[in-house]
Amino acid sequence: MQKGADLDLPYLTMEEDAFAADPFPHFKKAREEHPWLARWHLGYVVTDYQATRDIFAMEDKMSMMYDGIVDIMDAHDTPWGEFQKRHMLSMMGDPHKRLRDILAPYFTPRQANIHRPLMQRVIKELLDEWVPKKAFDFEEFASFFPITVMCRLIGADPKVIPGLRSAMEAIGLSTSMDKRWLPAMQEGVITMENFVDDLVADRRANPRTGEEPDLLDLLMQSHDSDELTYRELADVLIFLFVAGYDTSKNMLTLTMRLLIDRPEIYKRCAEDHEYSRLVVEESFRYASTTSNQRILEEDIVYNDVLLEKGSIVWFTLSVAMHDPRYADDFETFDPDRDRTNRHIGFGLGPHICLGQYIARAQIHEGLHEIARRMPNPRTTGAQGYRPFPGTWGIRGLPIEFDQAEEDVTA
Ligand code: HEM
């Protein structure tokens, strides 16, 4: 058996802007040097799809590294630092399971389908506002979609949306490990805390009557019956916004970028609602947005390599299936492909994305309607990229498009 520390592993410069602009060749080269493991300046990087699945199955030997992130950022006893240590992704074992069980009934595939008409209304209203501009930054446009859906799901006043958007842009950089963003992240958490306090106080003062309980009602009932403390209630609400924001926005923007180069597929999304769903799944396979990270609580052995207790391990969900071993003709974007190996863009194990069915439904409904209302999109300028570690994606996607010939809003 070899120790990971003694191996001459490929080194990935994941923190660099040039890496974020085109990560795939870096992973390809790394896998040529070692089939599943690489290194970067903050630990090991698992570069292989099957190894990610196998090592995630040992998740009881790992913990979340949010305390560690707060250490690295030197931000203990600050609003951002304390939120990082408390939120749902930072919890393990029974406390995590208790919270997940309270939330689970609201996040089933059936519930997500119930929300589809709301998602359709939101995207139609956004398109009514943005399409007349004829050209805009698609990333900016896409950013309003998940926040507006979430606000509608919990009955928040839409006037809060611009403020929340800035806060979540900042908080979304929480796992970038870059201290430059810290002041904005602190401000972002304070904004979200104030928003949630006002939201709960407002619902207490103005309870909804004669309607099905919404997510906010459900959480407040759990607080009233002592299942959740007020802090847990507030943190969960903030986390749901944060977890669904840049992930959904980046995924929709990455998908748009892929489809601009594939006009036939884009056109079919306008015509075929079910096909749009396959396109979304293929986008997750081709290039999804997140990479996860864990700390090893004990030594683990995989494929005769010992990874040492205390090591940080990064799992690159976003490129796992861009690999000939798991997807035939992997560089081809093919929505009709065989999906024997399922993508892992929503993670694995006990923390697998709670909002995955909402996210899928949202991007599916969004893509179909966008393709109907914005034919023939073209880029009109250079795009940037978000840091690869954490929630990767495109930063700024200026586009123009044709006007739809018929009034498709009817
Ligand atoms: C494209 C969109 C999305 C992607 C790619 C995504 C991805 C992920 C991933 C990879 C994880 C696991 C992180 C880890 O194990 O370290 C996660 C967790 C989570 N996601 Fe999502 N997510 C998306 C949208 C959403 C939405 C819309 C919501 C809520 C409405 C949401 C709520 C959550 C929550 C609450 C967790 C933590 C679950 C837990 O700790 O048990 N996500 N997400």
Give the pLDDT confidence of 212-221 residue by residue, as tens digits.
889 999 999 9
Whether the CB of 353 sits within 6 Å of ligand 1: yes
Rounded distance from Cα 238 to ligand 1 centre (Å): 13
Rounded distance from Cα 356 to ligand 1 centre (Å): 7
pLDDT at 185: 93
What are the Cα distances from residue 323, in Å, to 2, 40, 46, 282, 398? 25, 20, 13, 14, 30
Give the orientation angle of helix 66-73 with respect to helix 79-86, to 10 degrees. Answer: 160
Residues 6+ apart with CB under 8 A from 206: none
Q: Domains of the chain: which residue ranges?
A: 2-400
Question: DSSP states of 51-94 as a string?
Answer: HHHHHHTTGGGEE--HHHHHHHHT-TTSHHHHHHHHSGGG--HH
Residues 6+ apart with CB under 8 A from 236: 88, 99, 103, 219, 228
Whether the CB of 318 sits within 6 Å of ligand 1: no
Residues of the chain falling short of pLDDT 70: 406-410
Q: Which atom of ligand 1 is nearest to the CA of 348?
A: 15
Q: Which CATH architecture has domain 2-400?
A: Orthogonal Bundle (1.10)
Rounded distance from Cα 264 to ligand 1 centre (Å): 31
Q: Which atom of ligand 1 is nearest to the CA of 350?
A: 41
What are the Cα distances from residue 48, in Å, to 15, 45, 215, 286, 345? 19, 9, 37, 14, 13
Rounded distance from Cα 3 to ligand 1 centre (Å): 32
> Angle at CA 194, nearest 5°, toward 210 and 192?
90
Task: Supply the residue whose CA is at minimum distance from atom 4 of ligand 1.
Answer: 247
Rounded distance from Cα 290 to ligand 1 centre (Å): 9
pLDDT at 252: 98
For the chain, the first-to-last Cα distance in angstroms comes to 66
Question: DSSP states of 97-141 as a string?
Answer: HHHHHHHGGGGSHHHHHHTHHHHHHHHHHHHHHHGGGSEEEHHHH
Task: Supply the residue whose CA is at minimum distance from atom 31 of ligand 1.
Answer: 355
Task: Supply the residue whose CA is at minimum distance from atom 38 of ligand 1.
Answer: 351
Whether the CB of 215 sits within 6 Å of ligand 1: no
Rounded distance from Cα 106 to ligand 1 centre (Å): 14
> One-letter amino acid identity for 170?
A
Q: Which atom of ligand 1 is nearest to the CA of 391?
A: 5
Q: Choose one of 58, 99, 101, 247 to mutate for the ligand 1 pocket test, by most ligand atoms within 8 angstroms of C-beta.
A: 247
Whether the CB of 367 sits within 6 Å of ligand 1: no
Rounded distance from Cα 86 to ligand 1 centre (Å): 16
Whether the CB of 359 sits within 6 Å of ligand 1: yes
Q: Determine contact, residues 174/84, Cβ cutoff 8 Å.
A: yes
pLDDT at 406: 60
Rounded distance from Cα 375 to ligand 1 centre (Å): 31
Listed residue (154, 155, 172, 156) closest to 106, CA to CA: 154
Q: How far apart are CA 207 and CA 396, in angstroms?
A: 40
